[in-house]
Amino acid sequence: MPRITAATLVERKRAGDKIAMLTAYDYPSAQLMDACGVDVILVGDSCAMVMMGEENTLNIGMDAMVHHCRMVSRATKNALVIGDLPYMSYHVSPEEAVRNAGRLVMEGGAQAVKLEGPASKFGPTIEALLRASIPVMGHLGLTPQSINTLGGFKVQGRGEAAAEQLVREAKALQALGCCGLVLECIPAYLGAEVTRALDIPTIGIGAGPDCDGQVLVMHDMLGMGMYTKFSKVYADVKTVMADAFTDYIHEVKAGAFPSVEHSFK
């Protein structure tokens, strides 16, 4: 099966095929989800929270993102790997953004990058990335890198004016040439409206069932991360791991591990 590309995503939307996207930050998880048939793997800056224990996504730098991207891209054969541009890696100038996105592609092995925010702020940056042949996925609604100005992790796009503005911003990102758009934490009806208004696919996280695709943070869907209204726990991996750790500790303390079976003659 050929690898999914940024261009394939638009074909998926045209064909009415839903897109399944997950975050991953390490080799074995990415290898497993790729083998299971996930379409897109996002090496998200959520890595700061779920892997590094940070309070928000603001404190992860380019070196860490490249490091995690590399693990994920080495593990995948079919999925499109998107590297998240972390906070301050694209805010200062389009030139810096190209250099940093280039690192995610060259060193990290990503095939596209994602950045948060509207065309009014990042239009020239997105154009510069596309000139450097780096596909860009947009991200609107709740944009966690703006947590300090948004005032918390809150649902966005509520009310007529905010909803209309979000539809305008989505169209502007499409006009710039984004290959897709993450919509985070917006009312379901607005997720549907933006999806209808665009030719590029929308990928929802807390944006209702009518988006062209969905994304979840891997640790959340495995019961090892945050419990949010919009995430679903598909497996209680936390309990499975805790049981294994507890059994091991008991067996070591009781002298039951290693047994003859696990010892050299």
β-sheet bridge partners, residue 180: 137
The reply to whether 127 belongs to the active site is no
Tokens for 260? 């003859």
Secondary structure class of 181 (helix, strand, coil): strand
- Residue with smaller CB distance to ligand KIV, 55 or 160: 55
CA distances from 93 to 58, 61, 132 (A): 18, 16, 15
As measured in angstroms, the least distance from the Cβ of 72 to ligand KIV is 12
Task: Decide if 142 contacts 228 (C-beta within 8 A).
Answer: no
Secondary structure class of 17 (helix, strand, coil): coil
Residues 8-67 that bind ligand KIV (CB under 6 A): 23, 42, 44-46
- Residue with smaller CB distance to ligand KIV, 42 or 222: 42
- Residue with smaller CB distance to ligand KIV, 26 or 257: 26
- Residue with smaller CB distance to ligand KIV, 5 or 56: 56
Quick note: the x/- pattern for ligand KIV over 213-232, rule CB under 6 A, is: --x-x---------------
Q: Is 100 exposed, middle or buried (0-12, 13-18, 19+ CB in 10 A)?
A: buried
As measured in angstroms, the least distance from the Cβ of 193 to ligand KIV is 20
C-beta nearest to ligand KIV: residue: 44
For ligand KIV (CB under 6 A), the number of binding residues is: 11
As measured in angstroms, the least distance from the Cβ of 107 to ligand KIV is 19
- Residue with smaller CB distance to ligand KIV, 39 or 84: 84
Does position 84 bind ligand KIV by CB under 6 A? yes
- For 52-119, the three-class secondary structure string (H helix, E strand, C coil) is CCCCCCCCCCHHHHHHHHHHHHHHCCCCEEEEECCCCCCCCCHHHHHHHHHHHHHCCCCCEEECCCCH
β-sheet bridge partners, residue 205: 184
Member of 24, 82, 182, 186 binding ligand KIV (CB under 6 A): 182
Q: What is the DSSP letter of 145?
A: G
Does position 157 bind ligand KIV by CB under 6 A? no
- Residue with smaller CB distance to ligand KIV, 34 or 45: 45
As measured in angstroms, the least distance from the Cβ of 35 to ligand KIV is 21
Does position 115 bind ligand KIV by CB under 6 A? no
Residue 204 and residue 235: Cα distance in Å, rounded?
21
Task: Decide if 68 contacts 49 (C-beta within 8 A).
Answer: no
Task: Decide if 50 contacts 219 (C-beta within 8 A).
Answer: yes
Residues 186-215 that bind ligand KIV (CB under 6 A): 205, 215
Select which of 11, 184, 193, 261 is catalytic: 184
Q: Catalytic residue numbers? A: 184
Q: Which residues make up the interface to ligand KIV (CB under 6 A)?
A: 23, 42, 44-46, 84, 182, 184, 205, 215, 217
